Amino acid sequence: MHNKPILTIGIISEILCVHQRTLRIYDKEGILTSKRSIGNRRLYSYNDLEKAKLILYLTRNLALNLSGVKIILGILKEFKIKPSEYMDLIVRVSFKNKINENENIIKTSKRGRKSKQNNILEQ
């Protein structure tokens, strides 16, 4: 049941609070591939949802790029780790290796973006 593709791209994007384009990029990069319905619509399973949560955690909280995400997903697949266990394992490993999520969130939120304060001052 967890592998059955039943969730549309719109539903997944709402659950994850990401733009549908982000999910299409993940599909194009081969890190979150969708199945296709008879009408050629992208469909995702609950396992895909768990995988997407992990991808967002890795990119947002741990500041990994998509190449790093591909490597980690490859390792998880190689060791046959279930999608439901992805997050627990990654959080445990990042904590054990003293990776500070808060520092990474600040770094990634400043990357290529103007701060809200600068936007207010410019108006």
Share of the chain above pLDDT 70, in %: 81
What's at 13, amino acid-wise?
S
- Domain residue extents for the chain: 7-122
Does residue 120 carry a pLDDT above 50? no
Q: Is-contact 78 68, C-beta < 8 A?
A: no
Q: Give the residue from 66, 73, 72 showing the smallest Cα distance to 48.
A: 73
Residue 1's pLDDT is 67
Q: Can you tell me the distance from the alpha carbon of 50 to that of 48, in angstroms, rounded to the nearest whole number?
A: 5
What number does CATH give the domain 7-122? 1.10.1660.10
Q: Is-contact 96 88, C-beta < 8 A?
A: no
Checking DSSP bridges between strand 35-36 and strand 42-44, what pairing results, if any? Answer: antiparallel
Which pTM value belongs to this model? 0.79
Q: Can you tell me the distance from the alpha carbon of 4 to that of 24, in angstroms, rounded to the nearest whole number?
A: 19
* pLDDT tens digits for range 47-56: 999 999 999 9
